[in-house]
Copies of this chain bind each other. A is one copy, B any other.
Amino acid sequence: MKKFEEKTIHTEKIYEGKVVHVQVDQVKLPNGKESTRELIKHPGAVSIIPITKENKIIFVEQYRKPLEKSLVEIPAGKLEPGENPEVTAIRELEEETGYTTKELSFVSSFYTSPGFADELMHIYMAKNLEIVDQPLLPDEDEFVEVVELSLEEAKAYVREERIHDAKTNYAILYLEMLERM
């Protein structure tokens, strides 16, 4: 869909980081006038809703520097260039929780913040989890703690805003929905 397309007149690269690239585009608007758009380029991400045999959900708690606090979230990670999201999902699940699965199913995908960023988040559910003997480790600058919660406990975490991000709030609403189907 290209309704109200904004044609790029000029692109200025501002910053190329490890995670994000920042650019400012000069654009021609549908009415012929010009404006600027600030764009954050991101490789995309994958998150996993891991469900144990005891029907608990596995979360990870980690410090989020942009917020200067820690959040409890479903496990997640960035896509490597050209990587299939299912491969990312299995790797991140193992790195962050020590579990793997042969039962991965697609839940949903969405752009997290389409006004300024192109990050696409893919969400999967992982069932029939198996413990990995010598699991892959998280990146060396990544510190996470595993938290297992029932759905009721997770809903309480949402109310307390210890769970407070788009993919995890979506995941919990999705699990509530499944319970009612």
Interface positions of A (Cβ within 8 A of B):
1-6, 14-15, 17-20, 22, 24-25, 27, 29-31, 33, 35-42, 45, 61-67, 69-71, 73, 76, 78, 108-119, 121, 140-141, 143-145, 158, 161-162, 164-170, 173-174, 176-177, 180-181
Q: How many copies does the complex hold?
A: 2
- Contacts A27-B65, A66-B40: A108 and B169 contacting too (C-beta < 8 A)? yes
Q: How far is the CB of A100 from chain B (nearest CB, A)?
A: 23
**Out of B22, B65, B140, B169, which one reaches A37, CB within 8 Å?**
B65
Please give, as numbers and ranges, the residues of chain B lying within 8 Å of A112 by CB-CB distance: 112-113, 165-166
| Residue from A76, A115, A165, A170 whose CB has the most chain B CB atoms within 10 Å | A115
Please, how many angstroms separate the alpha-carbon atoms of A35 and B110 in the complex? 29
| Pair B111/A71 contact, Cβ less than 8 Å | yes
Return 6 A-B CB contacts under 8 Å, by A number: A4-B70, A5-B63, A18-B36, A108-B169, A111-B166, A180-B180
Q: Which applies to chain A's interface (DSSP): helix, strand, loop or mixed? A: mixed
Please give, as numbers and ranges, the residues of chain B lying within 8 Å of A33 by CB-CB distance: 140-141
Please, how many angstroms separate the alpha-carbon atoms of A113 and B166 in the complex? 7
